[in-house]
Amino acid sequence: MNTAPHLSPDVAHALASLRGEEIDASMGILRRDGLVTATTRVAYFGLYEQDKRTLLAGDVRARRFRAMLIDMSSGVQHDVLVSPAEDRVISVVQLDVAVDGQVPVVLEEFSLVEEIVHRDERWLAAMRRRGLTDISTLRVNPLSAGVASADEQGRRIQRCFTFVQKTPHDLGWAHPVDGVTVIVDVVAREVLDVIDHVELPVPEEDGNFHLPEWVGEPERPGLRPIQITQPQGPSFEIDDDGVIDWAGWRLQVGFDQREGLVLHNVSIDDGGLQRPVLYRASIAEMVVPYGDPAPQRWFQNFFDCGEYLLGGFANSLELGCDCVGEVTYVDATLADNDGGVRVIPQAICIHEEDAGILWKHFDNWNGSSDSRRNRRLVVSFFVTVGNYDYGFYWYFSLDGSIQLEVKATGVVFTSSYPGGGYPYASELAPGLGAPFHQHLFSARLDTMIDGVDNAVDEVEAVFVPRGPQNPTGTGFTQSVTRLRTEQEAQRFADNAKNRAWLVSNPSVRNRLGAPVGYVLHPEGRPVLLADAESDIHKRATFTTKHLWVTPYEPTELYPAGDFVNMHPGGAGLPRWTAADRDIDDADIVLWHTFGLTHFPRIEDWPVMPVDTAGFVFKPYGFFGRNPTLDVPASDHCAPAAAHGHAHHDHGEHP
C-alpha cells in the first residue's frame, strides 16, 4: 500500500505559508534588478510550489516565489519568478495585456477611481440631472471591467457605478444611482466615457442595519447564553509550519493571497498507518455572474480570486463572534502592494465542534443500545470582497469524511428597481432592486487516494425496467462508468440519478478485493446560466460543468487561467483539456464547480442571512469497516443493558 509522504520538517517547510523575511528578501532582489521601482505595485506575491513529483520523491529544493507586477505610470506588467535562496530572478515575462489578460486589481485603483470621476464634467452633469449636487455624498464604486471593447484594447480600465451615502455612517448600498456607467483608465488616470443609459429614481429608504438607532432594541427576548468549553483544552496539535494532528487526521494548513486557505498532505490514520487522501485542496477560483442584461450592467461578472485576490481580503476573526469554543488562530503573512510585509492577525480559525450523532442503534434481538457522538475539526477563514462576505469552512469528521461549506452573507449588490415585474431583479425595498446572480466556486482537489495514481468513475442509480431480470418491477441498480480522458470527464451533476464521482486507487485493494476510494458528492445546483457565445461563458468556462478532471501539471493552477482580469476568454480548463489527455490510473486533479443561484428575497435586505453551498468527499471502500468503532461513548451514554432495557424478539410488540 502506498502511504503518505513523511511530513519531515524539510517537506513541511517547503509548503508552509509565506514568511516575512522571504517577502523582504524577494523584494530586495526585484528592486536591485529594476523590476520594482517607485511606481511599481505588487498585484500578487505568493509561494511558487515545488513540483510535487520531485518533492514527494524527497528532493526538497529552495523555495521560489511568484510576483505579478504592474507599473502604474506606464501600465507595463510582468510575471516574475524569484528565488531568495539563490539570490536571483529565475524568469521574467512581460504580459501582452490584450492577449494574456492583466494582473489583478491593486488597492490603489479603488481610491484612485473616485478622485478621477469626481472631477469629470460629464459625470457631474449626469448627477445634476438627478438633483445630486453634494459630491461629498457620492461614492463611486469601481468594478472589474470584464472584456475590453475594440477601443479599450491595451488599456487598464474599470467600469464604475455611483451610490449615495447620505452621511459617513449611512449604508450607501441602499441608494444606487442607477443608469450611469463611468469608464476609467486607471493608468492614464482619465475618464474615457460616461454613459447615461437611463434615468431611474434613487431609492430613498435607508438600510442602516449596523446602527442601533435604526434597528431598534437589538436583544431578542428569551435567548440565554450558550457556552462551549473544553476544560482539558483542544484535542489537536499544530506546529510552526501549520501541520495539524487531530483524531487520526493529519494535514498542513497554509494561506495564499489569491486562494486563501490552502490544505496540503491530508491523511488519516488507519490502524497505525497514515493513509493519504488529498495532496492539495483549495478554492482556486470563484465568480459572481450577474443576470441583468441591461446596458448599464451587462459586464457585471466578478472573479473574486483571479481579479481581486480573495485571500488578501481575509478578516481578522474574533472569539465569540466568528469562532466559538477552544479556538486556535493562525495569522496570515502577505505582501502589500508596495512590497512590504502585511500580517492579517487571526486570519484562520481552528477548533473542534460537536456534530451530532455519529452512529446509533437499539437492537430488538439482543437488547443492546449504543450511540456515539460525532465531532469534527473545523478549519475556516472569512473574507469581505466588496459588498459580499464569504466564510470557507473545511470540516474533517471522525468517520473519514471531508466537507467544504461556503457561507455567503453581507449586502447584496443593489440597483434601482424599474418596476412592472422586471424579470431580472427582485425588489427588496421601495424602488430598490437586486439583480439576479450566481456565486460559483471551483474547488481544486489534487487527490492522492493511497498514492498518486488515481482514477474516476461516475456512479449513478439506474432504474431497471420490469422483465425477466426484474419480474416484480421493484429492482434498481447502479451503473459505474470509468472516465478515461479529459473530454469524457467534463460532467454535470444529476440529482435525479444520485450521480456522484468515485475517486479510487486501482492498485490498492480493500479487504473485499475492491479498489479503495473516496466519493465526491455534489449538491447538483445550476452551473453558469449564460449563453455559450457570451463574454462570461468564454471567460468562466470552468463554471459550465460540475466536474473536470485533468492530469497533474504544476503550472495548471487556476481554472480560468492565471490572468483573469480583462482576459478575452478561453484560458484555463478549456485550453488544457482540449488535448484530451489520459486521466485513467494517473496522477490527477479534480475541479469541482458548485455554488448558489441567488434570486434575492426581501429577507436578504439590508443584510443577508447566511446561505450555504459546498460538497462532501466521503470514504467508499477506503476502510475495512466502520472506522469509528473505537470512538468512546460520552459520559452520559452508558450501554442500555446497564439501565435494564427489556429484551424483545424481532417483530414482537413490547
Helix (H) or strand (E) holding 420: none
pLDDT at residue 7, as a whole number: 59
Please indicate whether residue 105 or residue 641 has the higher confidence score (pLDDT): 105
Based on the residue annotation, tell me whether 388 is a catalytic residue of this protein.
yes
Q: Are 257 and 353 in contact (CB under 8 A)?
A: no
**What length does the chain have?**
654
pLDDT at residue 8, as a whole number: 73
Nearest to 256 by CA among 335, 331, 311: 311
Is residue 653 predicted with pLDDT exceeding 50?
no
Among residues 388, 518, 552, 558, the one annotated as catalytic is 388
pLDDT at residue 638, as a whole number: 58
With b meaning 16 or more CB within 10 Å and e meaning fewer, what string describes 315-344? bebeeeebbebbbbbbebbbbbbebebeeb
Q: Are 290 and 413 in contact (CB under 8 A)?
A: yes
Question: Grid coordinates standing for 300?
Answer: 457585471
Span 187-216, pLDDT tens digits: 999 999 999 999 999 999 999 999 988 988
pLDDT at residue 218, as a whole number: 66
Backbone angles phi, psi at 96, to 5 degrees: -90, 95
Judged by average pLDDT, the poorest of 217-226, 447-456, 584-593 is 217-226
Span 453-497, pLDDT tens digits: 999 999 999 999 999 999 999 999 999 999 999 999 999 999 999
* Neighbour order of strands in the sheet with 64-71: 40-48, 64-71, 77-83, 88-94
Nearest to 30 by CA among 339, 341, 342: 339
Mean pLDDT of 373-377: 97
Q: What is the mean pLDDT of the chain?
A: 94
Quickly state the pLDDT bin for 639 (edges 50, 70, 90): low
Query: How many angstroms separate the CA atoms of 311 and 384, rounded?
Result: 9
Which residues fall within 8 angstroms of residue 73, CB to CB, at 6 or more apart?
39, 187
Q: Are 469 and 475 in contact (CB under 8 A)?
A: yes
3-state secondary structure of 342: strand
Is residue 646 predicted with pLDDT exceeding 50?
no
* Neighbour order of strands in the sheet with 432-435: 415-416, 432-435, 425-429
Mean pLDDT of 283-311: 96
Query: How many angstroms separate the CA atoms of 600 and 153, rounded?
Result: 35
Q: Are 116 and 184 in contact (CB under 8 A)?
A: yes
Is residue 623 predicted with pLDDT exceeding 90?
yes
Count of C-beta atoms within a 10 Å radius of residue 70? 28
Is residue 40 predicted with pLDDT exceeding 90?
yes
Based on the residue annotation, tell me whether 304 is a catalytic residue of this protein.
yes
Span 503-558, pLDDT tens digits: 999 999 999 999 999 999 999 999 999 999 999 999 999 999 999 999 999 999 99
DSSP, res 569: S
Is residue 375 predicted with pLDDT exceeding 80?
yes
pLDDT at residue 307, as a whole number: 98
pLDDT at residue 503, as a whole number: 98
pLDDT at residue 57, as a whole number: 92
Quickly state the pLDDT bin for 582 (edges 50, 70, 90): very high
Q: Are 582 and 551 in contact (CB under 8 A)?
A: yes
Query: How many angstroms separate the CA atoms of 525 and 527, rounded?
Result: 7
Query: How many angstroms separate the CA atoms of 508 and 451, rounded?
Result: 9
Among residues 241, 256, 292, 304, the one annotated as catalytic is 304
Helix (H) or strand (E) holding 55: helix 52-56
Using the structure block, give the residue that is written with the C-alpha cell 482539558.
232
pLDDT at residue 222, as a whole number: 85
Nearest to 365 by CA among 645, 625, 626: 645
Quickly state the pLDDT bin for 9 (edges 50, 70, 90): confident
Is residue 4 predicted with pLDDT exceeding 80?
no
What Rg do the C-alpha atoms of the chain give, in angstroms?
27
pLDDT at residue 648, as a whole number: 39
Span 212-259, pLDDT tens digits: 889 887 678 888 889 899 999 999 999 999 999 999 999 999 999 999
Mean pLDDT of 136-146: 96
Query: How many angstroms separate the CA atoms of 124 and 140, rounded?
Result: 12
Backbone angles phi, psi at 121, to 5 degrees: -65, -35
Q: How far is CA 77 from the centre of its chain?
A: 26
CA atoms within 13 A on the CB side of 171: 23
- pLDDT above 90 covers what percent of the chain? 91
Is residue 377 predicted with pLDDT exceeding 80?
yes
Domains of the chain from N-terminus onward? 9-94 (3.10.450.40), 107-215 (3.10.450.40), 245-619 (2.70.98.20)
Burial class (CB in 10 A: 0-12, 13-18, 19+), 2: middle
Is residue 425 predicted with pLDDT exceeding 80?
yes
pLDDT at residue 105, as a whole number: 97
Is residue 414 predicted with pLDDT exceeding 50?
yes
Span 47-73, pLDDT tens digits: 999 999 999 999 999 999 999 999 999
Kindly give the pairing relationship between strand 301-303 and strand 328-335: unpaired
Query: How many angstroms separate the CA atoms of 483 and 558, rounded?
Result: 22
CA atoms within 13 A on the CB side of 209: 11
Helix (H) or strand (E) holding 27: helix 20-32
